[in-house]
Amino acid sequence: MHDALQKEIALYEKRTAKSKEAHARAEKRIPLGVASNYRHYEPYPIFVKDGKGSRIHDIDGNEYIDHNLCFGALMAGHCHPAVVQAVTQKLNEGTTFGMPHEQEWELAEEICARYPVEMVRFGSSGTEVTMHAIRIARAATGRDKVIKFEGSYHGLHDTALVSVKPQAEEYGDPDAPNSVAGGGGIPKSAVANVVVASFNNLKSVENRFKQYPGEIAAIILEPILMNVGLCIPQAGFLEGLRDLCNKNGALLIFDEVKTGAKLAWGGASEYFGVKPDMICLAKSIGGGLPLGAFGASRAVMDLISQHKVFHGGTYNTNRVAMAAGLATFREVLTRENYTRVGLLSKRLTEGYRGIVAKSGLQAYVASAGVNGALMLYPHEIRNYRDWTAIDVDLWRQYWFAMVNRGVLAQPYWWDEQWTISVQHTDTDIEKHLS
């Protein structure tokens, strides 16, 4: 660890003594002292007291401009008035019934108006909806195998936890990467049905269809690879995937858990002009509450209606999450807000680029919609393997130094990106850049 990083970590520990105490206490009852592995980092994570608008406070009383925003789940920002009002009203009418209600149809209409789907079902998380989408794709095609991309993240079910962060010795051929279990407890049979390709490499996808003719049910991908900072699809890549699915009778699934709300009013389909067969949504569509959705054509979704695929969930469409979702679609994710936040994103991105050029830092800035990242590479990365060649200590110095100056520039981990909420201001962007 170089001296500059050590100094920033020492300052971090001085400013966050109560977080250190809270973490030590939590470790005795909670593995790693946190409720999700992604929230743990050394020396210990910040413990939050509250959040409002674009800012949060930790339990030591420090204020931060928040671009973490719950790993990008809060394009609405903290305590958006429209969301709070909608949720408060429904709390007084009952929270969950396990019975249908009018909000389900209302939110389904909002989603079908924006995204190229005809029918929708709901869940409570991104993990749930990608799991259900893959199951329906398998049922629709009568096939078991699914193509995913090396380094991509699609949740925590067995099919998704394959080749998320493989080690170099496990890679295999870049045109035919190995399928690597993402930890213990994942059956070999599950791994065997996940075929891995390389992002931005159509040849690797073609190879898989040739290798397993008539066996591949679907391709699932984030239209922008967001488990490696920000990796943009090269020209023709998404179109090429669409063509390969058409030729081989497979479904194209866009995992828009991150991109659906934050890329454009109509998500990646609008942004890139490519229509998938299925879309998975979560994170920012809930305005801060747990809400997910998956949709497709009527023909595909009718598999549920025909009782050929089972979908359920006790907390699906609970009144509070649905109220938050409706308020978010109608009052937060508006075309006007996309225009305004787009200007903030342009200002932050161009500001970063100016600083990178002036300082001579070996880096570039990637951005799309309300997401962006400082990418510490000499050239634009095209896939997961390119991403691994990062100076981790340099990134950690950037992150801790920004935190020590009151800016959560992004979630901790160098595979993440910043989010700009509708409640961020010009002043926030200027402070971030300063």
Q: Is 412 a catalytic residue?
A: no
Q: Are 120 and 294 in contact (CB under 8 A)?
A: yes
> Tokens for 412?
């901790």
Which DSSP state fits 181? Answer: B
Closest CA to 262 of 56, 19, 71, 108: 71
H or E element in which residue 150 lies? none
Q: Are 47 and 64 in contact (CB under 8 A)?
A: no
Q: Are 126 and 257 in contact (CB under 8 A)?
A: yes
Q: What is d(CA 57, CA 258) in angstroms, rounded to the nearest whole number?
A: 25
Which one of the listed residues 90, 148, 262, 283 is annotated catalytic?
283
Closest CA to 15 of 60, 55, 56: 60
Which one of the listed residues 153, 171, 352, 384 is annotated catalytic?
153
Which one of the listed residues 58, 66, 255, 277 is annotated catalytic?
255
Q: Are 409 and 8 in contact (CB under 8 A)?
A: no
Q: What is d(CA 348, CA 353) in angstroms, rounded to the nearest whole number?
A: 9
Q: Is 428 a catalytic residue?
A: no
Which DSSP state fits 331? Answer: I
H or E element in which residue 194 lies? strand 194-197
Q: Is 212 a catalytic residue?
A: no
H or E element in which residue 64 lies? strand 63-66
Active site residues: 153, 255, 283
